[in-house]
């Protein structure tokens, strides 16, 4: 009996001790989780699909690089080339912003993100541009490609040929949107080259990348790129995501007289991607001796660094810039300012909105790219800008 009583007392003491230690153990695990969380994020950034680069836009000098020439899936960063060829066609007056783009059954059938365009309808070239830079609409991208190339497959060939002319030697395009295709590949270096060209070759049209959103058939379409409202000096370009690619981003930012272009490919999440972009851009500006910090500064009233307010682009049925904001001849204005007080008042709805591309199935493999020449009837290839130096 004494033995049994002794066992009961011991069990009581053990339970009491466990009751005291359990919260301590739980607290220790929570502390370890908080300490190790940043390392988990770094593990994603350091994954086998990660690449990154920062260049000085003026000189092309490389300020940071990680796996810059490794083959990667571009996802919706593909649309930067779709827009480059669209801006080229506008420059050559083969199309105008008011031209109507027909929506085929093929274009309407594209997977999200999309405007949910219906076959047989039309949207203007400018509506399509705004749909690509804000919602990253795949149906609008396919419709633009068919309009400019006759078919999306033909347009993808034009995209690849233009990539070669610009010096993007490791990029192959297979569609206008960036939807998964195992043969559609690029590199961080090639995307930096493309971003540099679109900024320098089409400075007026580049301002489209800055718009926080536009109104399409009564719907407010926000911009997916949250760097525009969270990083000092950011003024474009594009986000992208597929399951195989990871979370991709190309960003350009200006501080003082310095403009940088950053590329991040294969991040594990949108917040990780944006934070990493901010870190490598900060590092780039610091290396150039440019003061400032990329601290988050999103504001409900839509105010950006320097006090500029960016308004929505609105229309009764689609997006067109107000005449007062246009340059003579219908070209986009040098600065996309607030279209009206109403736009400013409601800009908070755009900045508060959160949107991202839907995940897609992982492609099977990569493919090598091949060279080519300019397509028949295309404008003479522009002389490529000096390439960033190859890193060893």
Q: Give the C-alpha separation, 242 to 292, whole Å.
A: 33
Tokens for 309?
A: 């307010």
- State which H helix or E strand residue 237 sits in: strand 234-242
C-alpha separations of 293 from 14, 55, 245, 320 in Å: 54, 18, 29, 35
C-alpha separations of 133 from 37, 55, 223, 285 in Å: 32, 22, 7, 25
**List 79, 114, 135, 238, catalytic entry:** 79
CB within 8 A of 288, min separation 6: which ones?
56, 63, 258
- Is 362 part of the annotated catalytic residue set? no
CB within 8 A of 127, min separation 6: which ones?
101, 140, 214, 216, 315, 318, 319, 320
Q: Give the C-alpha separation, 117 to 119, whole Å.
A: 7
**List 51, 113, 136, 252, catalytic entry:** 136
**Cα Rg of the chain, angstroms:** 25
- Is 136 part of the annotated catalytic residue set? yes
- Is 114 part of the annotated catalytic residue set? no
Active site residues: 76, 79, 136
């Amino acid at each position: 009996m004494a033995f049994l009583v002794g066992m009961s007392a011991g069990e009581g003491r053990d339970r009491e001790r466990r009751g005291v230690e359990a919260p301590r153990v739980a607290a220790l695990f929570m502390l370890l989780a908080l300490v190790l969380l940043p390392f988990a994020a770094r593990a994603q950034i350091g994954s086998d699909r990660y690449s990154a680069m920062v260049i000085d836009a003026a000189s092309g000098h490389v300020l940071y690089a990680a796996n810059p020439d490794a083959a990667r899936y571009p996802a919706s960063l593909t649309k930067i080339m779709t827009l480059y060829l669209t801006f080229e066609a506008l420059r050559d007056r083969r199309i105008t912003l008011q031209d109507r783009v027909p929506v085929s059954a093929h274009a309407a059938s594209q997977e999200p993100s999309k405007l949910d365009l219906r076959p047989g309808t039309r949207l203007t070239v400018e509506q399509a541009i705004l749909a690509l830079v804000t919602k990253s609409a795949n149906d609008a991208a396919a419709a633009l490609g068919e309009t400019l190339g006759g078919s999306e497959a033909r347009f993808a060939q034009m995209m690849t040929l233009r990539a070669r002319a610009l010096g993007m030697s490791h990029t192959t395009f297979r569609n206008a949107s960036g939807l998964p295709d195992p043969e559609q590949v690029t590199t961080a270096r090639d995307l930096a080259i493309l971003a540099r060209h679109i900024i320098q070759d089409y400075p007026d049209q580049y301002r489209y990348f800055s718009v926080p959103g536009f109104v399409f058939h009564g719907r407010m379409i926000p911009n997916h790129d949250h760097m525009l409202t969270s990083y000092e000096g950011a003024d474009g370009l594009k986000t992208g995501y597929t399951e195989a690619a990871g979370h991709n981003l190309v960003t350009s930012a200006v501080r003082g007289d310095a403009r940088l272009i950053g590329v991040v490919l294969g991040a594990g999440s949108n917040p990780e991607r944006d934070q990493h972009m901010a870190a490598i851009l900060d590092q780039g500006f610091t290396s150039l001796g440019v003061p400032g910090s990329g601290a988050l500064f999103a504001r409900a009233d839509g105010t950006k660094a320097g006090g500029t307010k960016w308004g929505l682009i609105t229309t009764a049925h689609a997006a067109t810039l107000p005449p007062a904001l246009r340059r003579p001849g219908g070209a986009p204005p040098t600065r996309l300012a607030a279209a009206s007080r109403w736009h400013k008042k409601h800009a908070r709805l755009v900045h508060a909105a959160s949107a991202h591309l839907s995940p897609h199935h992982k492609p099977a493999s990569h493919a090598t790219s091949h060279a080519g020449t300019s397509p028949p009837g295309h404008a003479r290839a522009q002389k490529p800008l000096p390439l960033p130096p190859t890193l060893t």
